């Protein structure tokens, strides 16, 4: 009994350290974004002036708008593709299905450097797609749709499918049933997935960096370009913005999931 208690205590300590390790850097950056200190690496006094400077900074404005446009388009496209693919994978049995499932996993687990480099060569040497919005959006759809597939597949496994069967028994075609019955029932799950895709695209750096070309600075690329100058108050405010976007996305996703359960 005593031995078990000791192990539990040890485990709890490890958990405590883990959470401190995970959160301290983020909390420090958020706190320092409100510090008056010139280099943003010390607490001196409370101020919100850096946020004013952030909004007034034209390079940041430009990068932020670009990142938002890309994330919105990616979110919509990846969610649509993810939904129909998940439905196809869940409902149908076809040749090469295990292969397709594993292949969809590739863009998710592959090192971003390989995906980025391969896409860069493909865009510039083969397809001659201009680097900038088109190349970034295609790349984002490539690594975001697989994520949508797996999130929505997870929802489908918990869904009540009798409604769909009823609709088809009553003579509606599968396509009509999908549009009129399945989709509305799945909608909260789909929205929940979209809310997770948005930060996933908004946050991406490595792949975007490869395919962005010159002049298409997204917000993460801007952050990277400023990194070599070390810690700065502006970077702290941008970092805070990123964490806030993720938390909002996550809460929105959670909200839609709750909606799903209530139905």
The least CB distance from residue 170 to another protein, in Å, is 12
Q: Rank residues 5 and 262 by Cβ distance to another protein and give the closer one.
A: 5
Which part of the chain contacts another protein (CB under 8 A), choosing from 19-27, 45-53, 58-66, 184-192? 19-27
- Residue 185 interacts with another protein (CB under 8 A): yes or no: no
Can you say how many angstroms the Cα of residue 69 is from the centroid of all Cα atoms in its chain?
14
Site for another protein in 216-255 (CB under 8 A): 220, 223-224, 227, 230-231, 235, 238-239, 242-243, 246-247, 249-250
Phi and psi dihedrals of 35, rounded to 5? -90, 145
Question: Taking phi first (over 0 means left), then psi (-120 to 50 degrees means alpha), and beta for anything else, what does residue 96 get?
Answer: left
- Residue 59 interacts with another protein (CB under 8 A): yes or no: no
- Rg of the chain (C-alpha set): 23
Q: Rank residues 46 and 175 by Cβ distance to another protein and give the closer one.
A: 175
Q: Is 35 helix (H, G, I), strand (E, B) or coil?
A: strand
Distance from C-alpha of 116 to C-alpha of 211, rounded to nearest angstrom: 7
Among 201, 225, 230, smallest CA distance to 215 is for 225
Using the 8-state DSSP alphabet, how is residue 33 labeled? T
Which part of the chain contacts another protein (CB under 8 A), choosing from 48-56, 68-76, 105-113, 255-263? 105-113
Distance from C-alpha of 192 to C-alpha of 125, rounded to nearest angstrom: 37
Q: Rank residues 51 and 205 by Cβ distance to another protein and give the closer one.
A: 205
How many residues of this chain interact with another protein, rule: CB under 8 A? 94
- Residue 19 interacts with another protein (CB under 8 A): yes or no: yes
Among 127, 120, 131, 140, smallest CA distance to 202 is for 140
- Residue 256 interacts with another protein (CB under 8 A): yes or no: no
Site for another protein in 69-98 (CB under 8 A): 81, 84-85, 87-94
**Site for another protein (CB under 8 A): which residue of 6, 8, 44, 263?**
8
Site for another protein in 139-168 (CB under 8 A): 139, 141-142, 145, 147, 149-151, 153-154, 157, 161, 165, 168
The least CB distance from residue 1 to another protein, in Å, is 10
- Residue 175 interacts with another protein (CB under 8 A): yes or no: yes
The structure tokens 């991406």 sit at: 204
Using the 8-state DSSP alphabet, how is residue 171 labeled? T
SS3 content of the chain, % helix, strand, coil (to 5): 80, 0, 20
**Site for another protein (CB under 8 A): which residue of 21, 58, 158, 261?**
21
Which part of the chain contacts another protein (CB under 8 A), choosing from 15-23, 54-62, 184-192, 255-263? 15-23
Distance from C-alpha of 34 to C-alpha of 239, rounded to nearest angstrom: 12
């Amino acid at each position: 009994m005593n031995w078990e208690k000791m192990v539990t205590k040890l485990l709890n300590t490890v958990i405590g350290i883990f959470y401190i390790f995970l959160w301290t850097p983020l909390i420090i950056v958020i706190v320092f974004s409100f510090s008056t200190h010139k280099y943003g690496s010390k607490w001196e006094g409370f101020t919100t002036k850096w946020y004013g400077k952030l909004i007034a900074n034209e390079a940041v404005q430009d990068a932020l708008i670009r990142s938002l446009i890309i994330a919105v388009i990616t979110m919509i496209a990846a969610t649509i593709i993810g939904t129909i693919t998940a439905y196809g994978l869940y409902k149908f049995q076809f040749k090469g299905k295990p292969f397709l499932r594993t292949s969809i996993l590739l863009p998710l687990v592959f090192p971003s450097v390989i995906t980025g480099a391969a896409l860069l060569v493909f865009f510039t040497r083969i397809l001659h797609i201009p680097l900038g919005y088109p190349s970034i959006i295609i790349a984002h759809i490539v690594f975001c749709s697989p994520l949508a597939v797996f999130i929505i597949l997870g929802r489908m496994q918990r869904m009540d499918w009798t409604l769909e069967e009823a609709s088809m028994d009553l003579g509606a075609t599968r396509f009509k049933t999908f549009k009129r019955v399945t989709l509305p029932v799945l909608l909260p799950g789909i929205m929940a997935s979209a809310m997770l895709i948005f930060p996933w695209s908004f946050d991406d750096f490595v792949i975007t960096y490869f395919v962005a070309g010159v002049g298409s600075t997204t917000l993460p690329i801007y952050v990277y370009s400023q990194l070599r100058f070390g810690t700065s108050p502006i970077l702290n405010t941008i970092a805070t913005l990123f964490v806030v976007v993720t938390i909002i996305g996550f809460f929105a996703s959670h909200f839609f999931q709750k909606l799903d359960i209530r139905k």
